[in-house]
Structure 1
Amino acid sequence: MDSHSPGDHAAREREDEAAPCAALVVIGDEILSGRTQDRNIATIARWLGARGIALKEVRIVPDEEEAIITAVRALKDMVDYLFTTGGIGPTHDDITAESIAKALDRPLVVHEEAYRRLCAYYGIERFTPARQRMARTPEGAVLIDNPISIAPGFRVENIFVLAGVPEIAAAMLDSLESMITGGPPLKSRVLDVPLPESAFADALTAIAGRFPTVRIGSYPYYRDGRAGAQIVLRGRDESRLEEAVAAVREAAGRAGVTARLVRE
């Protein structure tokens, strides 16, 4: 539950407007079918958050050209940075490069440096037409290094195209520091409140109204026969964040329980 009311969002929106933001398009039939569980969303969200960039939206689309084009065109002008994962391998269903080229109205070309790297890695005899597909990018793209399996991602305009394999996507992020301009990091605190969410909702709504620049979320759980909620507070101003944490603890105390800090 997001405990902010619509009238309390103005200050937070002003703060958000000054901070960079991003979106992510996850590409892959295997994600939508449930065969593969995505791990890249959390990795990219944490990486961005540590650099003061909020991940605003995630879309999961199939390996279909029109779906990729539609998602890229819808999101790229809404955010500072758009990331994609998946679809840059050697097989027939790896169509991310051509889809993004079409979304941007750019030619799809063989990137000379990508071709050179891949040819050197595989050797001329093993550098098959399928592997040569991985050297294609939209015209004007800048390569994103892949220290694990050599096949690069690429950046074009404000779009960062990463591999779908989680270990490779994470490694690619390490090479993006010089391409990204962040903002003040978003700090967080997590409090455990051993009360049913409904018993604490009114107090939480009041606290959210007092601290509009702190995002406050309530996430209920049921374990060991008891209901409770984890209260997640996030903000860029650490002093206001700590004041909001103190307010949650005070409200929990008035309700007869202790709000325990479980994570910073």
Structure 2
Amino acid sequence: MQTEVPPPVEIPRVRLIIIGDEILSGRRQDQHLSKFIELLQKRGMRLHGAEFISDDEDGITACLQRSFATHDLVFCCGGIGATPDDRTRQAAARALGVPLALHPEAERLIAQRCAEMAAKGQGTADMSDPENQQRLQMGVFPQGAEIIPNSFNRIPGFFIHDHSFMPGFPVMAHAMMAWTLDTRYARWHHCEVRAEYSFLVFGLPESRITPALEQLEVQWPGVRVFSLPNVGDRGGHPHTELGVKGAPEATAQALEWLRAQVLAAGGRLSPPA
């Protein structure tokens, strides 16, 4: 009896979209990219792409239309508040062609937050109050969305079509990223076994070693090379960091082969005296 072997499961790509004019203008420095990479690496996952876009609703809509057409796992930070410069919720609804609606669980959480603040003497728990009515706009999401809990102040983000939308505030967004990775995507943790090695090369121009780099990728399909030149700034010696990444066994073999090619081409593995 012949047993059918199931096809290999394709691991989805992970991408990050950061939305906000304040990042593009330099008014605020991005804190999401490096933290997201760190969160992914702890879970054996990796980032495949990142994009920074403005608060323009048409631009966000176009970006999300392209993104929703993929099977990627996408994390979006910024623009989900309720002021005129927050247009991400509206753009997501437009991109999907669905209406916006107040999410019942988001409404409950926002009301709970208002009550907690009122108990501290800040505002009122009356949800008919104009300020609280405005706060409820932060729970108006594209129809069909699910919430992402916010452990900082209860005001949730939202999830739809493998896109997770969260605030631009790092203190909120980073916890929401971790929750989403662990709750929705735990099955993808440590699915991809990869190795990455590199070493420094001195006295060897990239042009001389490039043919060997090209040959390596032919000889070991699936292994990728990288070359990172350094011109010797800060008083150091000019050098190139050469590396390989891919499946562990093939990558280890490719590394040793590349070292030998570097030495044969006249390169050195230590700086000149």
CA offsets 1:190-213 (integer angstroms, 9 cap, x no match)? 322234433432322222222220
State the AA in 2 paired with 1:55: L
Partner residue in 2 for 1:158: 162
Distance in 1 of aligned mates of 2:201 and 2:21: 39
Distance in 1 of aligned mates of 2:42 and 2:52: 23
Return the match for 2:206 from 197, 207, 223: 197
Q: 1:210 and 2:219 equivalent? A: yes
Instruction: List aligned pairs for 1:171-250, cutoff 5 A.
Output: 171-176=175-180, 177-180=182-185, 181-182=187-188, 183-194=191-202, 195-223=204-232, 224-235=235-246, 237-250=247-260
What SS does the corresponding residue of 2:86 show, helix, strand or coil? coil
Does the CA contact (< 8 Å) of 2:68 and 2:161 recur in 1? no
State the AA in 2 paired with 1:60: F
Unaligned runs of 5+ in 2: 1-7, 125-130
Distance in 1 of aligned mates of 2:155 and 2:205: 50
CA offsets 1:40-87 (integer angstroms, 9 cap, x no match)? 233334444555655333332211111111011112222332221111
What SS does the corresponding residue of 1:79 show, helix, strand or coil? coil
Distance in 2 of aligned mates of 1:89 and 1:41: 20
Distance in 2 of aligned mates of 1:79 and 1:49: 21
Partner residue in 2 for 1:68: 60
CA offsets 1:145-193 (integer angstroms, 9 cap, x no match)? 2222322211112211122223322211221123124231443233222
Higher strand share: 1
Moved over 6 A (4+): none
Distance in 1 of aligned mates of 2:199 and 2:267: 15
State the AA in 2 paired with 1:210: Q
- Say if 1:259 and 1:89 are closer, same or farther in 2 by CA, change over 3 A: farther
Partner residue in 1 for 2:31: 39
Does the CA contact (< 8 Å) of 2:113 and 2:155 recur in 1? no
Distance in 1 of aligned mates of 2:151 and 2:243: 35
Partner residue in 1 for 2:269: 258
State the AA in 2 paired with 1:83: F
Partner residue in 1 for 2:86: 94
State the AA in 2 paired with 1:141: A
Identity of aligned residues (%): 29
Distance in 1 of aligned mates of 2:156 and 2:194: 30
Does the CA contact (< 8 Å) of 1:249 and 1:259 recur in 2? no
- Say if 1:49 and 1:211 are closer, same or farther in 2 by CA, change over 3 A: farther
Higher-Rg member (1/2): 2
TM-superposed CA distance for 1:134, in Å, is: 1.7
Aligned residue pair count: 244
- The TM-score with structure 1 as length reference comes to 0.80
